[in-house]
Amino acid sequence: MEISNALAPLLVQALRDAVRYNEQLLTSETLRDRAEYEQYLVNVSQLFAEVKTAYRAIEDEIGMKLEDLV
* pLDDT at residue 18, rounded to an integer: 96
Q: Is the pLDDT of residue 32 over 90?
A: no
Q: What percent of the chain has a predicted confidence (pLDDT) above 70?
A: 100
How many Cβ atoms from other residues are within 10 Å of residue 30's Cβ?
A: 5
What is the per-residue pLDDT for 17?
97
Annotated domain spans of the chain:
8-69
Q: pTM for this structure?
A: 0.86
Nearest residue to 45 via CA among 70, 11, 22, 69: 22
